[in-house]
Amino acid sequence: MQIHTRAFNLDDADFSSELDPLLQRIYQSRGINNQLALDRQLSCLPAPSLLSGMTEAVERLITALQQDQQIVIVGDFDADGATSSALMMLALRAMGFQRLEFLVPNRFDYGYGLTPEIVDLATQYKPQLIVTVDNGISSIEGVAHAADLNIDVIVTDHHLPGKTLPAAWAIINPNQPGCVFPSKNLAGVGVAFYLLSGLRKTLRDIGWFTDNGMEEPNMAAWLDLVALGTVADVVPLDQVNRALVHQGLMRIRSGRCRPGIQALLRIAGKNPKRLVATDLGFAIGPRLNAAGRLDDISLGIQCLLTDDLNEAMQTAESLDQLNKDRRSIEQSMQQEAMMELDKLTLDSERLPSALCLFRPDWHQGVVGLVASRLKEKHHRPVVAFARADDGSLKGSSRSIPGLHIRDAMDAVATQNPGLISKFGGHAMAAGLTLEEKNLTWFVEAFQAHVEKVLNPEDLNAKIITDGNLISDQISMYTAENLREAGPWGQQFPEPCFEGIFLINQQRVVGENHLKLVLSHPSAPKLSIDAIYFNMDVEQWPNNEIQQARCVYRLDINEFRGQQKLQLLVQYMMPATGD
């Protein structure tokens, strides 16, 4: 494991003199060089009109509103898709739309996106308009089939487009060619939020709310959903997404959020008043995702839609049980994956540059999590496959810095016609489908591509820190400052530091967690609580070691109403001193 310190140069920065010097250093090392880029108010957001297709989409929605047409919202089966679907239903209702239904394809029966089969399923509602959320940019056949049935389609998506776009009535996706919207990192729920904001503005301008005696909806009322979907989908937190997430967190902290989110927080044991972005990603998102992975994401959408807290609690409890089931399945699959990797190591003495794993009995809703865990452990691109009901293989991939995984799939498909049936995704995660007979062909082609793109150094895991803290900075004040300086997340990582500490106490808690009492060498009498989750069990605990080099984050531990500083250790190794 290599430990590096983020580079920064405050000579190039223009921050307020009132901003803590430590925060200035942290922000600058993340590419923020001026105070303006720290603005998290909604006023800093770019206008909806900058999104290509906005005018056409808004006009079509207004026609549907004025003519009382039936609309079907078609979402995706993850937390981003669930929040997008709920947001679209709630906001359109508040603007006066009466005939609305939502539909999410069961991933096991229909697969991903607006397929022709999903269009046929939607016809039960006799829609004149389908609006996709968090999908659709690759649904060429589905959109064409809808057109054959005289159903218009508005696509709202954020996934990277292929060479051909669907012939939809309108497409809103900041990543489509020619779109000048400055942020390319919106989640699906962020794209939906922008469409609805553009629609509300036009309805206001034409006097819709006044003429119909309606209260104009406040779009900020749904920022809790936007924050949840954005964090759960692990999109980069650029300034636009940081503003959306920050404002959503502020609403949740003040108690102004959906009953479903309140219920999920209660089930997860999280204090809404102290909520941070990582709580959305690690406590709430997985419970929503579990429904889509194991059963039907509609359960999660219903949890977000209900206005009744009791109903929300009942649904949240069902989601929590699904999440427990998901964990059990995932643990079993991880053990099987490690056995497969042991075989690979025995055969070749070292792991290949890319890992491709398949077992016929793996759960296709969980292979993405297995790929993610293996990527984290071995620092290699990973593709994990499961067998679908139709006999094809459904793959989920995760990547490391240096390999754009969606582009890698595109390159492999282009160089090997007929190999991949379909694919799509982002820079760090993608999905694909191929015939089982093509698996060996795919493994060879994918590993060859990765070998060409990545060098051996790319496969060495690195920990990037924000350097050392002096003993006075290891404090509740600093921890609280950092907590409020976010939101932290993808490509805007939460600050972590490194340093050598004296080990005063160490003991195992749970199965593989190490509870520590440390002290800084410059203040040896000042005890600091620390915990090392998922420690290296081959090295720790070790009572012979008196000093350790730790990579850690500052945290505030709450217990029975008391708050205390705690270090969250992410990596530690024996040290003999400075």
**Is 228 in contact with 79 (CB distance < 8 Å)?**
yes
Domains of the chain from N-terminus onward: 2-6+463-574 (2.40.50.460), 46-318 (3.90.1640.30), 351-459 (3.10.310.30)
- Express as a percent the part of the chain with pLDDT over 90: 85
**Is 364 in contact with 390 (CB distance < 8 Å)?**
no
Write the DSSP assignment of 167-212 as a string of letters: --SEEE-TTSTT---S-----HHHHHHHHHHHHHHHHHHTTHHHHT
The predicted structure's pLDDT at residue 228: 98
Q: Of the candidates 253, 262, 248, 134, which has an alpha carbon nearest to the alpha carbon of residue 191? A: 134
Q: How far apart are CA 193 and CA 84, in angstroms?
A: 8
Q: For all residues of the chain together, what is the average pLDDT?
A: 94
The predicted structure's pLDDT at residue 11: 82
Residue 282, C-beta contacts closer than 8 angstroms, at least 6 positions apart: none
Measured from the Cβ of residue 313, the count of other Cβ atoms closer than 10 Å reads 19
Residue 568 has pLDDT above 80, yes or no: yes
The predicted structure's pLDDT at residue 578: 47
What does pTM read for this prediction?
0.91
Q: What share of the chain is helix, strand, coil (3-state, %, to 5)?
A: 45, 20, 35
Q: Of the candidates 441, 435, 450, 358, which has an alpha carbon nearest to the alpha carbon of residue 404? A: 450
Please give the structure tokens belonging to residue 18.
């009132």
The predicted structure's pLDDT at residue 77: 86
Helical ranges in 10-133 per DSSP H: 21-29, 54-66, 79-94, 116-122
Backbone torsions φ then ψ of 149, nearest 5 degrees: -95, 10
The predicted structure's pLDDT at residue 211: 97
pLDDT in tens, 452-478: 999 999 999 899 999 999 999 999 999
Q: Which whole number is the average pLDDT over 496-517?
A: 94
Q: Which whole number is the average pLDDT over 492-518?
A: 95
3-state secondary structure of 340: helix
The predicted structure's pLDDT at residue 346: 55
The predicted structure's pLDDT at residue 233: 93
Residue 347 has pLDDT above 60, yes or no: no
Residue 93 has pLDDT above 60, yes or no: yes
Residue 356 has pLDDT above 90, yes or no: yes
The predicted structure's pLDDT at residue 294: 87
Q: Which whole number is the average pLDDT over 284-299?
A: 90
Q: Which whole number is the average pLDDT over 125-142?
A: 97
Residue 455: burial class (beta carbons within 10 Å; 0-12, 13-18, 19+): exposed
Q: Which whole number is the average pLDDT over 237-252?
A: 98
Backbone torsions φ then ψ of 336, nearest 5 degrees: -65, -35
Q: Of the candidates 341, 348, 346, which has an alpha carbon nearest to the alpha carbon of residue 377? A: 341
**Is 405 in contact with 368 (CB distance < 8 Å)?**
no
pLDDT in tens, 407-455: 999 999 999 999 999 898 888 899 999 999 999 999 999 999 999 999 9
